[in-house]
Amino acid sequence: MDKIFIRDLVARGIIGVNDSEREKSQEILINITLLVDLRAAGESDCLDDSVSYRTIAKRALAHAESAARFTVEALAADLAKLCLEDPRVQRVIVRVEKPGAVRFSRSVGVEIERTREDFA
């Protein structure tokens, strides 16, 4: 399966369960891999035959910055569902990280893999 990827998309939003995490926006690092059949786009050289990574990135960023989720798990699920709204996306891998959330670590987070059937 072919892949379209978005690496290290940085959002600023509310995420976390502690009062201090709910008061001001913090950095959220997002990585998305879309599993898509890209043969038609490769032949036609036409964006209409592919999935626009720019559109997906803009939607993911807007959601992450406005959702105010308590857990990275919930935000990752939201973003997976958002990506799968495009019928050409067959599977998605979403990684959501909170840089600096745990002392002595660069970041912590989750990575999930979903299909449309997971949200049926």
DSSP string spanning 20-45? HHHHS-EEEEEEEEEEE--HHHHHH-
Exposure of 70 by Cβ count < 10 A (0-12 exposed, 13-18 middle, 19+ buried)? middle
Q: Any catalytic annotation for residue 3?
A: no
Residue 119 falls inside a structural domain: no
Count CB-CB contacts under 10 A for residue 36.
19
Tell me the whole-structure pTM to 2 decimals.
0.94
pLDDT digits (tens, 9 = 90+) for 58-95: 999 999 999 999 999 999 999 999 999 999 999 999 99
**Domain extent for 91:** 2-109
Tokens at residue 58, please?
A: 């803009």
Number of domains the chain is built from:
1
Residue 116 belongs to a domain: no
Residue 29 belongs to a domain: yes
CATH classification at residue 64: 3.30.1130.10
CA dist 86 and 52 (Å) reads 10
